[in-house]
Structure 1
């Protein structure tokens, strides 16, 4: 009779049966729900370049989910900006849609640019939460479809809207408070020196507070979706995760913002700007359907640019959150020791979450005395209660 389990001498080159035949559990781990298992992002604390490259990787691995969700939100925002530019600002806005008029005046264009920038930041925060499940699955090599992403994120959409709105309100208030003395000085017709001082002091303070507030709470959307927390709890958790690495978080987010600004403002819209210039050379004063077509051409260019760059910025936020959990809570070791069947549920707060967010619990010294009749068990060093209930020194 042949033994089904072949034996080999230790140290010999003959492979054992465990090395030849995969275990029954391996096929379940080799394939995901939507495709093959292929890990491209290292499952360990990430460097700055790895965070940026990881954001590109999980857009490239999941184009339908990431670009599809981005296209929907970006289209809504750009249509709102176009309508505001065309109607809400009156005749001045109708002339400012052309590059020649933009060169002559910046009044209404600055207003619409500010509105567009705020709405774009809001979209990026929403996308960072909506696309967080894609990041969670991509780290374990699992692709995600658009329908699968929506099924995961749909129960959290209302709270995600609340968290993103609250972050924007906090950022707006941090800017409004330093500007209040400037507005009061101008409204009260204060001396020019007083007005100048309020501007010199207020503008840098407003900028510092705005950036600081955004960095502290930018991780709240992915936390809300992956850890299934409430709105206020996700903001508090974001501040805990960022604490101790504020400058690193700021540097990564600032670098991604510079990349998206360069690509979304100067590179991707260039063909559409050239097309607008050609149309203006043919008809310097377009009206009627010609003006509508010119506006639509610029809007399409902004939608395409935003669809491509907004997911990158959002993915960087999600990757920064993943990196912070790996560094504070050794979350990468948890995933490697026990590969989860559900990559999204694995991001729920675990036993190391509280320990990674604060001081480690102190373990008493000395031998443990088990109560009578207690079987010998060993609690891990990160157990919520140590010693276990009923044990004594």
Structure 2
């Protein structure tokens, strides 16, 4: 006997005892018309759970009755093929009902495991940004502690240098129409020196914050917390390499810009014509495009160096491999994160700058009309407080987005989610979840 349901899914093999192409078991001849139901004989009471008669023919003697077409056999209604359920649902009029066709009950793949701040699957743009913010919110003591400590130390050094060592008085010559060429050259040299010193100190702070926050974010992905001391012990062996990596990237950028501008600069010095100026501008534009392409290509070298414990050259090679084929996506996410971080920081820094100008004695108008000269301690301290608060926000966002981009690219290319699931203690983690954009 055959108890296979008659609504088998398409493509499945025919059941035993059923002809291929038949949609269900054969029905006996002389079935009454559904529109004119015949009188049903009274059924004898059966024992509970018994569905078949006790008297059955011997094995091999039963055969299916022959179906003879006749006027009493109603034609199947149109559209009632194997893809549509019978009236009342899969169980017929007396069935369970309430469901669609045979594929309607599938609810999609199971959701990906999320032991920490991100699900363990390819991430979308919003999930990367949300993961960076969630890391800052969930582990706020460690994240804000690291950012605050680095920002305060960096800003103290900058304020002391600007107030005691660096000389801003010579930069007034840049706005003096009667200044000689020597005075302009000295002013530009002093301005570049001051900016270079401040940039170098800020770079050291950025490297330290990035190294520590990379460790925190990588642990947050697994749902594990980390203290500032643990983050420092884990990141300390790689900090010197990270500083060397960032300096190397800056030297590459400076070299590309110099090579791009050099031909036009030489033509300008030799001929002094507009052709030289145009060639210089064209060279700078081309060099800027090439430098941007390389910086995005190597943008994942920092988390690679910190998390994989690689050397500088190997980290750059790994970053180029991970970014290959996804340059525009990585560029867009990095640009969006930078814009968001800078906008938030500006909302905080700009009011402190105007407050510092107001409290310094010259007022806002005096601050706006002054291009150089000595900067008072009041202005330096108040504006420095705003810079510290802004850095507390920008450090976690930029570092977190970079680390999560690195993890996302490795999940897409190397199935890193399986390793992360094992590290988080998740059993039977698969890749059937819907990927991000």
Q: TM-score, normalised by structure 2?
A: 0.59
**Aligned twin of 2:142:** 65
Q: Take 1:306 and 1:141, find their aligned partners in 2: how far apart are those partners? A: 25
CA contact (8 A) 1:81 1:112 kept: no
Match of 1:366 in 2: none
Structure 2: distance between partners of 1:303 and 1:246: 32
Q: 1:93 to 1:82 in 2, by over 3 A?
A: farther
From the superposition, tell whether residues 121 and 255 of structure 1 become closer, same or farther in structure 2 (CA, over 3 Å).
farther
The 5 A counterparts of 1:158-197 are 158-186=240-268, 188-197=269-278
| Superposition misfits of 4+ residues, deviation over 6 angstroms | 106-111, 282-286
Q: Distance in 2 between matches of 1:58 and 1:138?
A: 6
Give 1:295's match in structure 2, choosing from 380, 398, 416: 380
Given the superposition, is the C-alpha separation of residues 109 and 297 from structure 1 closer, same or farther in structure 2, using an over 3 Å criterion?
Answer: farther
| 1:148 matched residue in structure 2 | 230
Alignment match of 2:169 (pick from 84, 91, 96)? 91
Q: Mapping of 1:204-223 within 5 angstroms? A: 204-223=285-304
Give the C-alpha shift of residue 118 in structure 1.
7.1
Shift of 1:85: 4.5
SS at structure 2 position matched to 1:41: coil
Contact 1:135-1:315 within 8 A present in 2 as well:
yes
Cα 1:293/1:230, change in 2 over 3 Å = same
Q: Distance in 2 between matches of 1:293 and 1:74?
A: 19
Question: Which position in structure 1 is the counterpart of 2:415?
Answer: 330
Distance 1:241 1:65 in 2: 29
Q: 1:172 to 1:40 in 2, by over 3 A?
A: same
Structure 2 unaligned segments of length 5 or more: list them. Answer: 1-113, 175-186, 426-437
Equivalent pair of 2:322/2:409 in contact (CA under 8 Å): yes
Instruction: Pick one of 304, 311, 317 that aligns with 1:236.
Output: 317
Change (3 A) 1:282 1:248: closer
* RMSD between superposed Cα atoms in Å: 3.3
Alignment partners' CA distance in 1, 2:228 and 2:243: 19
Single out whichever of 141-150 and 320-329 deviates more from structure 2: 141-150
Say if 2:305 is the partner of 1:224: yes
Alignment of 1:308 onto 2:393: yes
> Residue 201 of structure 1: CA displacement?
0.7
- Partners of 2:115 and 2:424 within 8 A in 1: no
The structure with the largest alpha-carbon Rg is: 2
| 1:243-282 → structure 2 map (5 Å cutoff) | 243-264=324-345, 266-280=346-360
Q: Show CA shifts across 1:262-313 (max 9, x none).
A: 122x201133123223314577699xx9921222211221122122212211
TM-score by length of 1: 0.65
1:145 and 1:95 map into 2 onto residues whose CA distance is: 50
1:171, 1:81 → 2: CA distance?
24
Mapped to 2, the partners of 1:200 and 1:258 lie a distance apart of 26
Question: Shift of residue 176 of structure 1?
Answer: 2.2
Gaps of 5+ in 1: 1-36, 97-105, 342-393
Q: How many residues align?
A: 292
Q: CA deviation at 1:209?
A: 1.9
Specify which structure has the higher proportion of helix.
1
Kept in 2, the 8 Å contact 1:84–1:112? The answer is no
Q: Contact between 1:55 and 1:312, CA under 8 Å: does it hold in 2?
A: yes
Shift of 1:171: 2.3
Checking the alignment, whether the CA contact within 8 Å between 2:212 and 2:235 is kept in structure 1 is yes
Structure-2 change in CA distance of 1:117 and 1:60 (3 Å): farther
Mean CA deviation greater in 272-281 or 112-121: 112-121
Check conservation: 2:122, 2:412, Cα contact below 8 A: yes
Corresponding residue SS for 2:325? coil
Q: What is the deviation of 1:77? A: 4.0
How far did residue 235 of structure 1 move? 1.0
Give 1:126 shift.
4.9
In structure 2, C-alpha distance between the alignment counterparts of 1:148 and 1:92, rounded to whole Å: 46
